[in-house]
Amino acid sequence: MRAAASLTPPASPLYLREDEIRRGIELLYFGYTSMVRGADSILADSGFGRAHHRALYFIARRPGLAVGELLRLLAITKQSLGRVLTELQDKGLVEQAIGTADRRQRLLRLTAAGAGLEAALFAELETGMAAAYGEAGQAAITGFWSVLIGLIPTADRPLVDSLGQRQG
């Protein structure tokens, strides 16, 4: 029997009831808080927060990411993103280049230092996720991913899907 099973009984056949939905929300809150705790500590040491982490993560996933795409991924204001990018650039972690097809476009890449920080942050997340995945098993992970995808607005799903695809 897996350790996670002792904390979570099987979902009720009445899984759309308020109690079951609240339980799912609670598990998301507590799971996320626990998962990011180590990364938050690393970020705090650098004077950064979670918006910086998310920017580093997505730029690492898609080198050459356009600022406009990052704005959509992060769902924050232009002003907030501008502050985050300025701070990351000032610390030598992110660099911008002008787009080749559209010179108005600003394309983002991590510097070597930025890639190092992102790798350290990812390592913190990976440890907890790998352990949880190992406890849950493949079928549970597939179900978990299905639930998370269901939380993403349909219009945003292609952008999220594109993160896992290699860019030319």
The residue among 115, 122, 61, 68 whose CA lies nearest residue 93 is: 115
CB contact burial 19-47 (16+ within 10 A = b; e otherwise): eeeebeeeeeeeeeeebbebbbeebeebe
Instruction: Tell me: pLDDT of 4 over 70.
Output: no
Q: Residue 8's pLDDT band (boundaries 50, 70, 90)?
A: low
**pLDDT value, residue 166:** 58
Instruction: Tell me: pLDDT of 1 over 80.
Output: no
Does residue 123 or residue 13 have the better pLDDT?
123
- CATH assignment of 16-162, among 3.40.50.2300, 3.30.479.20, 1.10.10.10, 3.40.50.1100: 1.10.10.10
Instruction: Tell me: pLDDT of 5 over 70.
Output: no
Q: Which residue has the tokens 């990018």?
A: 85
Q: Which residue has the tokens 């009720």?
A: 12
- How do residues 57-102 score in pLDDT, each as one tens digit? 999 999 999 999 999 889 899 999 999 999 999 999 999 988 777 7
pTM attached to this predicted model: 0.85
Instruction: Tell me: pLDDT of 14 over 90.
Output: no
Instruction: Tell me: pLDDT of 56 over 70.
Output: yes
Structural domain boundaries of the chain? 16-162
- How do residues 101-160 score in pLDDT, each as one tens digit? 777 789 999 999 999 999 999 999 999 999 999 999 999 999 999 999 999 999 989 988
Which helix (H) or strand (E) covers residue 78, if one does? helix 78-90
**pLDDT value, residue 71:** 93
**pLDDT value, residue 6:** 53
Complete DSSP assignment for 6-57: HHSPPPPTTTTSHHHHHHHHHHHHHHHHHHHHHHHHHHHHHT--HHHHHHHH
